[in-house]
Structure 1
Amino acid sequence: MTPSRTPFRLGLAALLATLVLDQASKLWLYLGTDLVLTQPWRFGPYAEFVVVWNRGVSYGLFQQEGGFGRWFLVVLSLVAALGLGVWMRRAHSRLLALALGLIAGGALGNAIDRAAYGAVFDFVHLHAGTWSWYVFNVADAAIVAGVIGLILDGLMPQRSPRGPAEKNAVL
């Protein structure tokens, strides 16, 4: 395994793991349980599973009721995932590749929902007292983690992609 391929493989593994965990959790909760009929499922005073169909983007913004909006968001997600994949292929940092893989996997997971159901299936609700966070899913959590990874990668000092032999070479 060459060092230049290591970040890409990590990013690809993150993409695939995110996509599989996201789709498996949604399929299991929606088709394999009675959550739709018995919601909410409470997990202590701060968390519960509920069924929310999000026709918009992050935080439920830009709700799309028509077919055009739905397919526009599907295509936008696919184009974004492709662009992130190209960027991931060129990444020299493992953190950058991991972050890009998480974001691309999340985008693909939500695109599959939109294509199959017309909306994204969200189910995790966190709250405390009167405070309530938006309802999200595994794909959304991966996208947020990926964005945090992008920020952290951007804050790290740049390393030269050159190997040790090139560093010692006389110019």
Structure 2
Amino acid sequence: MRTGRIPIVPRRWYWLALAVMVGLADQAIKGLVQALMPYGQTIPLAPFFNWGHWWNTGAAFSFLADAGGWQRYLFLGLTGMVTIVLTILLCRPRPRLEALGYSLMLGGALGNGIDRLARGYVIDYLDFYWREWHWPAFNLADIALFLGVIAFAIAALRERPSSRVSE
């Protein structure tokens, strides 16, 4: 007997959709930055924040940025492995906060991975600073990665220890 209910979409699709939306939003912003701003342009928006257009051929904090080009393939390989692992993890039932963490990490990896694959570098556009000291420029994908790690860490800390008695 049919009840007329709409079938419930498995929760994993919500988390995977969130990851894809984060990656697409990141790519949309980077596309606008690249289309509307010449490389190196900086627009001051506050006494501590600039919007700009910069390229990063390395990883976080420009790690290996001057390595000669081989790092692109290393980072693409790592991104591919991380994408596969996170997708597999999101396809299994997870506590919400843990799934949110994995989803944000996956979205960030997708956003920056697409850049590396298509352009050979990651576009950064957010520049926070204090006087003459500038934090390394970053983007939405980096924010998603950071928040994903924080969510995962909180979820891991909240997990109760095993009730099994050690021998």
Question: TM-score, with normalisation over the residues of structure 1?
Answer: 0.82
Aligned CA distance change for structure 1 residues 84 and 38 (closer, same or farther; 3 Å): closer
The whole-number CA distance in structure 2 between the counterparts of 1:130 and 1:64 is 23
Paired residue type of 1:72: L
Q: Who is 2:147 aligned against?
A: 145
Secondary structure class of the residue paired with 1:51: strand
Write the deviation string for residues 81-120 of structure 1: whole angstroms up to 9, x where unpaired: 1111111222421111111111111111111111111111
Q: Who is 2:3 aligned against?
A: none
Of 47, 50, 60, which aligns to 2:49? Answer: 47
Q: Is the 8 A contact 1:102 1:145 kept in 2?
A: yes
Q: Who is 1:9 aligned against?
A: 13
Question: TM-score, with normalisation over the residues of structure 2?
Answer: 0.83
Aligned CA distance change for structure 1 residues 129 and 36 (closer, same or farther; 3 Å): same
Paired residue type of 1:80: V
Q: Who is 1:25 aligned against?
A: 29
Write the deviation string for residues 8-57 of structure 1: whole angstroms up to 9, x where unpaired: 233212201111110000001111x1x21682111111111122211111
Q: Who is 2:138 aligned against?
A: 136
Secondary structure class of the residue paired with 1:127: strand
Q: Is the 8 A contact 1:10 1:94 kept in 2?
A: no
Q: Is the 8 A contact 2:16 2:103 kept in 1?
A: yes
Paired residue type of 1:9: W
1:36 matches 2:38: yes
Q: Is the 8 A contact 1:113 1:121 kept in 2?
A: yes
The whole-number CA distance in structure 2 between the counterparts of 1:89 and 1:118 is 30
Q: Who is 1:162 aligned against?
A: none
Q: Who is 2:127 aligned against?
A: 125
Q: Who is 1:70 aligned against?
A: 72
Secondary structure class of the residue paired with 1:52: strand
Q: Is the 8 A contact 2:56 2:65 kept in 1?
A: yes
Q: Is the 8 A contact 2:40 2:53 kept in 1?
A: no
Paired residue type of 1:18: V
Q: Is the 8 A contact 1:10 1:98 kept in 2?
A: no
Question: Paired residues, what number?
Answer: 155
Q: Structure 1 vs Structure 2: percent identity of aligned residues?
A: 30
